Amino acid sequence: MTREFLGKRIVITGASSGIGKALAQHLAPLGARLVLAARSEDKLKAVADALPGGALIVPTDITKESDRRNLLDRTVDRLGGLDVLINNAGIASWAHFADSTEDILRQIMEVNFFAPAELIRKAIPILTQGVEPAVVNVASMCGRRAMPAWSEYSASKYAVCGLTEALRGELARFDIDILLMIPGLTKSEFSQHFLRSEGKANIEYDKGMPPEYVAERIVQSLRKNKTETWIGSDTNWMLRINRWFPRLVDYLVARKVTKLYAAH
């Protein structure tokens, strides 16, 4: 199938910056009717005001059940229904697990897994009435190959990947497509909001993919109804090598971490 976007009612979480903002900027000119969700009302308003045709903004803390319900209720009240839910919001911690805390683990799981899972659950009855309905889950390369210092983040994204695969079979009977996006390193504000930033490796965030490119690939995949999309050269080479030589990847990663800590 080829999914067109003219008139499609689309909710985007984490829409105030980064990939979410870029998704709004790609979808609005295609005629989509957008609902933008994030915690910052001011940032959402700035994004919406710059879009052709504007957008409905709904300040939302997706970890709160009342906010999730309000987001869906306002979408139905204003747009008459929902066709596509894009779960994009996320947080991370860049630190080793032994030095981290239970609170950080729980925060990351709440935002990255439990919140989108419950949003999907509540959206299913609405999506069943939608036009070419779909759920798009934005995971991460770390959701297919966990990495050191990204332990909590990797766990949350693995959970998203697992839920997506399970729901793909469950939601087929409702004709709801569920698509998984696996982006690699992206240049955005994401790294500026880590709960902790104490990892030793030198990650060059400024050399990551522009969020506009990631958003373009997500939109293409949604249009083509592609089940799973790996985005970025780092994602493609890492996951391909890991598929055939996982023990080699384990060895190389462990050696790198050992060297980093031997220097301190």
Q: What is the pLDDT of residues 105-124, one digit of tens each?
A: 999 999 999 999 999 999 99
Q: How confident is the model at residue 66 (pLDDT cuts 50, 70, 90)?
A: very high
Does position 137 have pLDDT exceeding 90, yes or no? yes
Residue 23's domain spans which residues? 9-235
Query: Catalytic pick from 153, 205, 251, 261?
Result: 153
Domain CATH number, residue 198: 3.40.50.720
Radius of gyration of the chain (CA): 18
User: How many domains is the chain built from?
Assistant: 1
Domain-embedded: residue 240: no
Does position 264 have pLDDT exceeding 60, yes or no? no
Helix (H, G, I), strand (E, B) or coil at 54: coil
Alpha-carbon dihedral sign for residues 252, 253, 255, 260: positive
Helix (H, G, I), strand (E, B) or coil at 211: helix
Domain-embedded: residue 86: yes
Rounded-to-integer distance, Cα 5 and Cα 20, Å = 17
The per-residue pLDDT for range 214-241, each reduced to its tens digit, is 999 999 999 999 999 999 999 999 999 9
Q: Residue 215 corresponds to which amino acid? A: A
Kindly list the distances between the CA atom of residue 65 and the CA atoms of 61, 109, 117, 156, 164, in Å, as whole numbers in the listed order: 9, 15, 11, 19, 21
* 90-111 average pLDDT score: 95
Domain-embedded: residue 213: yes
Domain-embedded: residue 26: yes
Q: Is 261 a catalytic residue?
A: no
Q: Which of 32, 1, 176, 180 is nearest to 15 (CA)?
A: 32
Q: How many CB atoms lie within 10 A of CB 110?
A: 15
Model pLDDT, residue 263: 58
Domain-embedded: residue 131: yes
Domain-embedded: residue 157: yes
Helix (H, G, I), strand (E, B) or coil at 61: coil
Domain-embedded: residue 260: no
Model pLDDT, residue 252: 92
Token pair 């008139």 is at which residue?
Answer: 7
The per-residue pLDDT for range 12-37, each reduced to its tens digit, is 999 999 999 999 999 999 999 999 99
Token pair 């999907």 is at which residue?
Answer: 120
Model pLDDT, residue 197: 85
Q: Which of 79, 58, 80 is nearest to 69 (CA)?
A: 58
Phi and psi at 176, nearest 5°, equal: -100, 120
Runs of H (alpha helix) within the chain: 18-27, 41-49, 65-79, 102-109, 115-127, 151-171, 211-224, 233-244, 246-262
Domain-embedded: residue 90: yes
